[in-house]
Amino acid sequence: ALWGSALSITRYSIPEEMEEGSFVANLASDLGLDVRSLLERNAKLDVIHSKNYLDINKDTGELVIREKMDRESICMTKTTSCFLKMDVILSNPVRIFNIELEILDINDNAPVFRRKTMHLDVSEATPPGERFSLTNAVDADVGANSVKTYYLSESKYFSIDIQTGSDGSKYVDLVLDGKLDREERAIHNLILTAVDGGVPPRSGTASIIINVLDINDNAPTFSLPVFAVNVSENSPAGTVVMTLNATDLDEGTNAKLIYSYTLYTSEKTQELFSLDPQSGEIKVKGVIDYEESQSFEMYIQAQDRGANPLSGHCKVMVYVTDLNDNYPEVTIKSLKRSVAEDVSVGTLIAVVSVSDRDSGDNGAVDLHLNQQEALPFRLNKSSEGYFELLVWKPLDREVKGKYDIKLIVTDRGFPALSENETITLEILDVNDNAPMFSQSFYTIHVMENNPPGALLTSLSAHDPDLNENQYLVYFIMEKEIVNMSMSMLFSINPENGDLYGLKTFDYEREKEFLFHIEARDSGVPPLSSNVTVHIVILDQNDNTPLIVSPWRAHGSVVEEVIPRSTEKGHLVAKVVAVDADSEQNARVTYQLLQISDSTLFSLDQYNGEIRTTRMFSYRDPRQQRLVVVAKDNGQPALSATVTIKISTVEHAMTFLETTELPLEYEVFTNLNLYLVIGLGAVSFLLLITILVIIVLKCQKPKPKAIKMPPANRNSLISQRSSTIADSTLISSDAYWYSLFLAETRKGKVVVRQPIIPKGAGYFVSSIPRSIGPSETTDSRASTLE
């Protein structure tokens, strides 16, 4: 009783599918309430028999959408009006307001057919105007948004008729407008479209498949009214003459055909030929003789299996052809079994005749060569039935030495018969190919010190000819080198081309040879070719390094005198060795083999310079002994040693004057010796040098005015004192001296004799007579460079 009574009903209308939070109405204003009272009196919304889709905004007093509403879900029945009833309840005191919310329909659903595809079977005999009911479309919307009309895709055979039910629903019928012909079109595909009245309109479609049913309204037909076919006489039983293939545009049993002879076909023909009723195949059943009958006539019908069968007819003419039962013949009248490969084009090889006992095309024959394109021969028809076999292209025995020429004769019958005859022709060889080496230039490496008679290599040439035309003889084409012919240095086996060295080669004397070897066949006339041979001599480490500076007599000790006040790093002596070998075998390094005091001297392993590593002290002995070994880089390494005795004095000595004493001597040499001669020549030169030193020691030289000769590239002065500051003089002159040995001619021995205390040594060098002293710049470095 305290709640009071309910107020009158308040109605609102909104469309469906409004978004969440959308404004519906100002509830506080419409109900005459203060906005603050909604919150104070705890206003709430109670929806009757439905889900709560609305909410009250207590701050503004507005009724808003809480959740999107679908009219078709809320009102299941298809009615024009859809209401949502709810109460607004206030407390303190209690009051209830009735609200009805009408949900208006929008066009949010398209028409839908219950069956997306509709199948109809319609006989081609159905008359125009026949009607066929179709499944209608449904639309969840109401009123103007429901199905309004239907449309059918374009068709000249069908249309639609739209009808309206008592409830306003639209129904559609399919109407046949024209006569159907299954043979013209067996299936019709149509599209039915339903459109509603909404804005914008929505639509739905369904597919209509109409299958046209067949009736037996077409008779069987043959492709031709008359067929002509040939069959050979004596064809075996079962031979297929032809297969008839009639067509019926109907289908099913209306198109299944049966073949049979009609009464117009003679009994004799039916005895010789059989007809398959199912396939229409005509086969030979009896013996066919061309001489008895040359043709046969058959009258055949094809009938379908419809309720009211229809039939078609044709005529078959069978022509018997004569059997080609005789083989053609080929006869060789004259024949050459062999010809030389250099015969001229057009040479006659054989005469051939052909014949055939048949008549007509069966007796007409053709003669040809098997694989004509690959043969250098051609057939030339000389007269009727006669052919000449001629050479058509140049022959080459090296390409092919024998030909099997197959003559094939074929008649023009059907099937064609043929016969063949094979002629074997041998091609005789002529000497038309010169020997050929596999290479035009041979480079052969030979290690020096080879044993005489050793096999160097084998040179072989090839001659594609036969017999004596391919028998080759090898020989060296003569060429003189330093008054010596190649046949004295090398030998070749004339039969197999094995090349031998007749002497032991020395790399230091001869480094290479270039000559030609010829290969000649035994044909008439003989043919030949030659090849260039380059013999390269390889170096061996067979020469021991020769120490040329400081010079000393064989087995003697080299003495050097230096002041005790010598500074650290002073050049005491320089060891220079030369090696007659080449490359790594001539690369010389130096090592101290023995030394009395290892802290006093050092040796450069590459240039051989001996220098002091510190100053002399009063404890150091006055004499030092060094043994230096010069070793090459060969495998195995060879070496030479020199012993140097170093004496220290308190004061430096000065050179007062020098003298030159010319001596004539003969040196064993040759004009064309290379850079370094052999060990024997070096030993001989050392012997001459020792003799000259002995002669000089026995003589007392006259004092002369002090006069220094101009520097020249042929002078080599032995420095015995540290007063001369140029430390590179000995090294450079020693290397020049090794080059000078190879160029020496008969000349003078020049002895430069300094005025020094007794016991000092001398150095001898040779000057070519053709060169003589030459003026140079004052700088020793420039002179040596």
- How many Å separate Cα 127 from the centre of its chain? 73
Indicate the pLDDT class of residue 441, thresholds 50, 70 and 90.
very high
Q: Are 525 and 431 in contact (CB under 8 A)?
A: yes
Residue 346, judged by CB atoms within 10 A of its CB (0-12, 13-18, 19+), counts as exposed
In order of 562, 565, 592, 722, 772, the CA distances from 651 in angstroms are: 9, 8, 28, 11, 37
Looking at 377, 408, 428, the residue that finishes a domain is: 428
Indicate if 117 and 176 belong to the same structural domain.
Answer: yes
Q: Does residue 707 belong to any structural domain of this protein?
A: no
* Spatial distance between the Cα atoms of 332 and 343, rounded to a whole number of angstroms: 22
pLDDT the model gives residue 266:
92
* Spatial distance between the Cα atoms of 677 and 661, rounded to a whole number of angstroms: 27
Token pair, residue 164, equals 């309206």
Secondary structure (DSSP) of 76-91: -S--S--EEEEEEEET
Q: Tell me the average pLDDT across 227-234.
A: 91
* Spatial distance between the Cα atoms of 690 and 118, rounded to a whole number of angstroms: 134
- Does residue 296 surpass a pLDDT of 90? yes
pLDDT the model gives residue 480:
67
Indicate if 237 and 278 belong to the same structural domain.
Answer: yes
Indicate if 333 and 364 belong to the same structural domain.
Answer: yes
Strands 62-65 and 601-603: unpaired
- Does residue 699 surpass a pLDDT of 80? no
- DSSP class of residue 236 equals P
* Spatial distance between the Cα atoms of 690 and 713, rounded to a whole number of angstroms: 23
Q: Does residue 671 belong to any structural domain of this protein?
A: no
Number of helices (H) and strands (E) in the chain: give both, helices first.
Answer: 8, 52
* Helix, strand or coil, per DSSP, at residue 567: coil
Please indicate whether residue 22 or residue 209 has the higher confidence score (pLDDT).
Answer: 209
pLDDT the model gives residue 316:
95
Please indicate whether residue 657 or residue 134 has the higher confidence score (pLDDT).
Answer: 134
pLDDT the model gives residue 677:
65
Strands across the sheet with 226-232, in order? 226-232, 311-321, 295-304, 257-261
Buried (b) or exposed (e) across 477-494, using 16+ Cβ within 10 A? eeeeeeeeebeebbbbee
- Does residue 553 surpass a pLDDT of 90? no
* Spatial distance between the Cα atoms of 4 and 89, rounded to a whole number of angstroms: 12
621: CATH:
2.60.40.60
Reading phi first (left if > 0) and then psi (alpha if -120 to 50, else beta), residue 772 is in: left
Least confident of 67-81, 92-106, 496-510: 67-81
Q: Are 332 and 425 in contact (CB under 8 A)?
A: no
pLDDT the model gives residue 483:
67
Indicate if 480 and 551 belong to the same structural domain.
Answer: no
Of 73-82, 179-188, 651-660, the range with the highest mean pLDDT is 179-188
Indicate if 391 and 305 belong to the same structural domain.
Answer: no
Query: Which pLDDT tens digit goes with each residue over 703-726?
Result: 444 344 333 333 333 333 332 233
Per the listing, tokens 């008592």 go with: 166
Indicate the pLDDT class of residue 273, thresholds 50, 70 and 90.
very high
Indicate the pLDDT class of residue 412, thresholds 50, 70 and 90.
confident
Query: Which pLDDT tens digit goes with each residue over 744-781?
Result: 333 333 333 333 333 333 333 333 333 333 333 333 33
What phi, psi does 130 have (nearest 5°)?
-65, 140
Helix, strand, coil: what percent of the chain each, to 5? 10, 40, 50
- Does residue 782 surpass a pLDDT of 60? no
526: preceding bond cis by omega (within 30 degrees): no
Q: Does residue 598 belong to any structural domain of this protein?
A: yes
Q: Does residue 664 belong to any structural domain of this protein?
A: no
Give the domain range for residue 453.
436-538
Per the listing, tokens 């190919």 go with: 433
Q: Does residue 390 belong to any structural domain of this protein?
A: yes
Indicate if 530 and 441 belong to the same structural domain.
Answer: yes
Indicate the pLDDT class of residue 262, thresholds 50, 70 and 90.
very high
* Spatial distance between the Cα atoms of 531 and 250, rounded to a whole number of angstroms: 90
Count of CB atoms situated within 10 Å of the CB of 729: 22
* Percentage of residues in the chain having pLDDT higher than 90: 28
* Spatial distance between the Cα atoms of 21 and 638, rounded to a whole number of angstroms: 111
pLDDT the model gives residue 554:
63
Please give the mean pLDDT across all residues of the chain: 80
Please indicate whether residue 588 or residue 46 has the higher confidence score (pLDDT).
Answer: 588
Query: Which pLDDT tens digit goes with each residue over 537-551?
Result: 988 888 888 888 887
Query: Which pLDDT tens digit goes with each residue over 137-147?
Result: 888 778 788 88
pLDDT the model gives residue 10:
83
pLDDT the model gives residue 661:
35
* Spatial distance between the Cα atoms of 656 and 653, rounded to a whole number of angstroms: 9
Indicate if 313 and 375 belong to the same structural domain.
Answer: no
* Spatial distance between the Cα atoms of 475 and 521, rounded to a whole number of angstroms: 12
Token pair, residue 286, equals 């009896």
Token pair, residue 740, equals 């000078």
Looking at 104, 122, 149, the residue that finishes a domain is: 104
- Does residue 152 surpass a pLDDT of 80? yes
Token pair, residue 108, equals 């949010």
Q: Tell me the average pLDDT across 122-128.
A: 88
Q: Does residue 34 belong to any structural domain of this protein?
A: yes
Indicate if 339 and 405 belong to the same structural domain.
Answer: yes
Token pair, residue 156, equals 């000249």
pLDDT the model gives residue 2:
33
Least confident of 55-69, 384-398, 477-491, 654-668: 654-668
Indicate if 602 and 635 belong to the same structural domain.
Answer: yes
Q: Are 159 and 73 in contact (CB under 8 A)?
A: no
- The single-letter code of the amino acid at 361 is D
In order of 22, 311, 630, the CA distances from 589 in angstroms are: 107, 121, 6
Please indicate whether residue 766 or residue 219 has the higher confidence score (pLDDT).
Answer: 219
Q: Does residue 334 belong to any structural domain of this protein?
A: yes
Question: Which residue, among 211, 205, 167, 204, has the nearest Cα to 188 in the 3D structure?
Answer: 211
Secondary structure (DSSP) of 143-203: GGGSEEEEEE---SSEEEEEEE-TTS-EEEEEEE-S---TTT-SEEEEEEEEEESSSS--E
The number of residues making up the chain comes to 785
Query: Which pLDDT tens digit goes with each residue over 319-339?
Result: 988 787 778 999 998 888 999
Pseudo-torsion of CA 101, 102, 107, 109, nearest 10°?
70
* Spatial distance between the Cα atoms of 16 and 285, rounded to a whole number of angstroms: 88
Four-residue CA torsion sign, 689, 695, 700, 702: negative
Q: Does residue 705 belong to any structural domain of this protein?
A: no
Indicate if 408 and 469 belong to the same structural domain.
Answer: no
Least confident of 155-169, 263-277, 381-395: 155-169
Count of CB atoms situated within 10 Å of the CB of 769: 12
Please indicate whether residue 155 or residue 725 has the higher confidence score (pLDDT).
Answer: 155
Report the greatest alpha carbon distance in the chain.
172
Query: Which pLDDT tens digit goes with each residue over 376-403?
Result: 999 998 888 899 999 999 998 888 989 9
Q: Are 338 and 347 in contact (CB under 8 A)?
A: no
* Spatial distance between the Cα atoms of 295 and 446, rounded to a whole number of angstroms: 95
Token pair, residue 27, equals 């509830």
Q: Tell me the average pLDDT across 168-193.
A: 88
Please indicate whether residue 38 or residue 529 has the higher confidence score (pLDDT).
Answer: 529
3-state secondary structure 401-426: CEEEEEEEEEECCCCCCEEEEEEEEE
Indicate if 382 and 337 belong to the same structural domain.
Answer: yes
Indicate if 202 and 249 belong to the same structural domain.
Answer: no
Query: Which pLDDT tens digit goes with each residue over 568-598?
Result: 889 988 999 998 888 888 899 999 888 888 8
Looking at 171, 194, 213, the residue that finishes a domain is: 213
CA contacts within 13 A on the Cβ side of 719: 20
Number of domains in the chain: 6
Token pair, residue 649, equals 């004095």
Token pair, residue 98, equals 């009735």
pLDDT the model gives residue 253:
86
- DSSP class of residue 221 equals B
Indicate the pLDDT class of residue 45, thresholds 50, 70 and 90.
confident
